[in-house]
Amino acid sequence: MSNVFWITGLSAAGKTTLARLVAQRLRDLGRPVVMLDGDELREALASTTDHSSDARVQLAFKYARLARLIASQGVTVVVSTVALIKEIHQWNRENQPGYFEVYLKVAIDELRRRDPKGIYRRFDAGELHNVAGLDVPVDEPLRPDLVIEYMPGLEPDAELERLMDAFDKLYPAVS
């Protein structure tokens, strides 16, 4: 059985880091895995730098459909993307095989502190607009399979263990 792991949260929440750990764990278990990262997907699939709400929805649906296509061929897909859009969450629940949604909930102050891409700094300086969670509203997932709230000292390896434990409870015969 293939699965789609959908790891979501705002920019700098740790989505890519956790997705890489999940993908590696699954590979170590002998499962074929493809990781799809939002930044890489945007570069590959978007022909524009449009970050408006409509463009975000269209692009997120492309990510979701691509994940479903890959999963339909027996490959587990790990997606890390902001895509905090209720229509996407609902579509995924209804259409993704073995869907497992993880929401990384991190306070904006912590995201601003991390800010590896300078998104929050540039937004505050007026250089950047259409930033999810700031001037673009987001939809927190209504029914994520796992919410990981940031706590000081929480390490990515501990997040991985929580994720795998929650996944094993939902899909006990898979991993």
Q: Is the pTM of this model over 0.95?
A: no
Residue 171 maps to a domain: no
pLDDT band at 79 (very low <50, low <70, confident <90, very high): very high
The dihedral formed by the CA atoms of 162, 164, 5 and 156, expressed in degrees to the nearest 10: 50
More confident residue, 47 or 89: 89
Residue 168 maps to a domain: no
pLDDT band at 126 (very low <50, low <70, confident <90, very high): very high
Mean pLDDT of 92-104: 96
Which tokens go with 134?
């700031």
Residue 172 maps to a domain: no
Residue 40 maps to a domain: yes
- Tell me which of 3-7, 86-90, 114-118, 170-174 is least confident: 170-174
Please give the pLDDT value at position 47. Answer: 58
The dihedral formed by the CA atoms of 24, 27, 31 and 32, expressed in degrees to the nearest 10: 90
What CATH number is associated with residue 57? 3.40.50.300
Residue 105 maps to a domain: yes
Residue 37 maps to a domain: yes
- Tell me which of 4-13, 82-91, 129-138 is least confident: 129-138
Please give the pLDDT value at position 54. Answer: 80
CA distance 1 to 99: 11
Residue 111 maps to a domain: yes
CA distance 119 to 8: 17
CA distance 144 to 46: 27
Q: Where are the alpha helices (DSSP H) in 50-155?
A: 53-71, 86-95, 108-114, 119-124
Q: Does the pLDDT value for residue 20 go beyond 80?
A: yes
Residue 92 maps to a domain: yes
Q: Does the pLDDT value for residue 87 go beyond 90?
A: yes
Please give the pLDDT value at position 52. Answer: 67
Mean pLDDT score of the chain, rounded to an integer? Answer: 91
CA distance 21 to 57: 27
Q: Sheet containing 4-9: which strands, arranged edge to edge?
A: 33-37, 76-81, 4-9, 99-105, 146-149
Please give the pLDDT value at position 136. Answer: 87
Mean pLDDT of 66-72: 97
**Which residue segment(s) compose the domain that 81 sits in?**
4-152
- Tell me which of 10-19, 46-55, 146-155, 164-173 is least confident: 46-55
Check: CB of residue 80 under 8 Å from CB of residue 16: yes
Q: Number of structural domains, the chain?
A: 1
CA distance 27 to 93: 24
